[in-house]
Amino acid sequence: MQSMQSVIDCESTQVVKIVVNSFLLIVILFARSCRLLKKILVFVNFSF
């Protein structure tokens, strides 16, 4: 039972790491494409 608990803890920490890495990647991509997003928003605003 104790070993099972440690395995669950290990898996949960892996999941947390994956989630954090994905979040950081999204933030970096968003920061890089921020100017592009602004251009798209301006274009959409002019379209509608």
Q: Which domain holds residue 17?
A: 13-47
Query: Is the residue at 5 inside a domain?
Result: no
- Determine the pLDDT at residue 19: 93
Query: Is the residue at 41 inside a domain?
Result: yes
Under the banding of pLDDT at 50, 70 and 90, the label for residue 10 is: confident
Query: Is the residue at 27 inside a domain?
Result: yes
Residues of the chain with pLDDT > 90, as a percent, come to 21
Residues sharing a CB contact under 8 Å with residue 23, sequence separation 6 or more, in sequence order? none
| 10's tokens | 């290990």
Residues sharing a CB contact under 8 Å with residue 30, sequence separation 6 or more, in sequence order? 37
pLDDT digits (tens, 9 = 90+) for 17-32: 999 999 999 988 888 8
CB atoms within 10 A of CB 23: 10
Count of domains forming the chain? 1
Distance CA 10, CA 2 (A): 12
Query: Is the residue at 19 inside a domain?
Result: yes
**The model scores a pTM over 0.75:** no
